[in-house]
Amino acid sequence: MNYYRNYWIFMNNPMAGAYLRWSYKKAVEDIKNINPNFDFYKKDFSCLLCGVGNKKTAEEFIRFVLVKNIKTKIWIIDINEDHLVAIRKLVDKKYKDKDINIIRVDALDLQSIIDLESIDWIETDAFWEFFDKVNLLKLLNVWSLILKREGFISTRDYVCSGLWNIIMDPVRNFIMEGWLGVKIYKHKQEDFDDVFNEVDFKATISPTFIPTYKRFLLVKE
C-alpha cells in the first residue's frame, strides 16, 4: 500500500521520534492535571497503541511505557499485517521477556480480543481522520468498552474550523489523498463534541505546533 510505504519514509527521521516522545509526555501531564492520583506504576497497568503505522512508532511507545512501568501489558494493533511483521521481529529481538501483544485486527472489533474494562491508557495518533462520523462514534464506543473506569485516551487530530483551515485543508488533501493514497474525513469541533457527549467522554483539548492539529485527552464522565 502507498500509505504504509510512504508513511515509513515520513516517520523514519529524528523529528518524528521527538514528536512522539513529546506527545506521550504531554499526555501524561494532561492526565495528571485531571487526576493527580493516576497510577502508572500499579501492578496490572495495561495500555493499547491503536493503529501503529510503523515500527518506529511502536518502539517509541514501548520504550516510553516500559520506563514508567516495566511490567506493563502492552497491546499493539493495526489492520495491516505487513508492517506488524517488522514490529514482531523488533519485540522478539529487544523485548521478548515483556508482555507485548501484537495483533492484526480492525479497531472496531477490539472488544473481541481485549477484555472489557481492562485498559488503562489508549494511545493513537491522527487516527480519527480515517473514520467518518458514524464510524468514529462506533470506535469511541468500542474504546469505552475496553477502557477502565479511571483510564484515559490520548491522541492528536485535526479540527477543521477557523481561518487556518483554509490553508491546512489543501495541504492535508495533497499529503493524505495525493501522496499517501488514503481517504480522510474532516471533522469540525461540533462533530467531536457530539460523539464525545454520546459516548459520555469528557474531553480536554489543547494546542500543538500546527494551528488546526489539537491534542485530545478523553476520560469517562
pLDDT, tens digit (0-9, with 9 covering 90-100), for 141-194: 999 999 999 999 999 999 987 766 766 777 676 666 665 667 878 899 999 999
How much is the pTM? 0.90
In the prediction, which pLDDT does 177 show? 65
Q: How large is the C-alpha radius of gyration of the chain?
A: 17
Q: Is the model more confident about 56 or about 49?
A: 49
Whether 54 has a pLDDT exceeding 90, the answer reads no
Least confident segment among 25-34, 132-141, 180-189: 180-189
Q: Give the number of other CB atoms < 10 A from CB of residue 46.
A: 24
Q: Which residues pair with 46 in a beta bridge?
A: 73
Least confident segment among 46-60, 95-109, 153-167: 153-167
In the prediction, which pLDDT does 6 show? 47
Residues contacting 25, CB < 8 A, separation 6+: none
Residue 7 CA, chain-centre distance (Å), reads 16
Stretch 129-134: mean pLDDT: 94
| Residues of the chain above pLDDT 70, percent | 86
Label residue 26 by pLDDT band (50, 70, 90).
Answer: very high
Stretch 105-124: mean pLDDT: 98
Burial 7-33 (b: 16+ CB within 10 A, else e): beeebeeeeebebbeebbebbbebbee
| Residues of the chain above pLDDT 90, percent | 73
Average pLDDT, the chain: 89
Selection from 190, 194, 174 nearest residue 182 by Cα: 174
Retrieve residue 86's grid coordinates: 517488522
Least confident segment among 6-10, 32-36, 167-171, 196-200: 6-10
Q: Are 113 and 139 in contact (CB under 8 A)?
A: no
3-state secondary structure of 37: coil
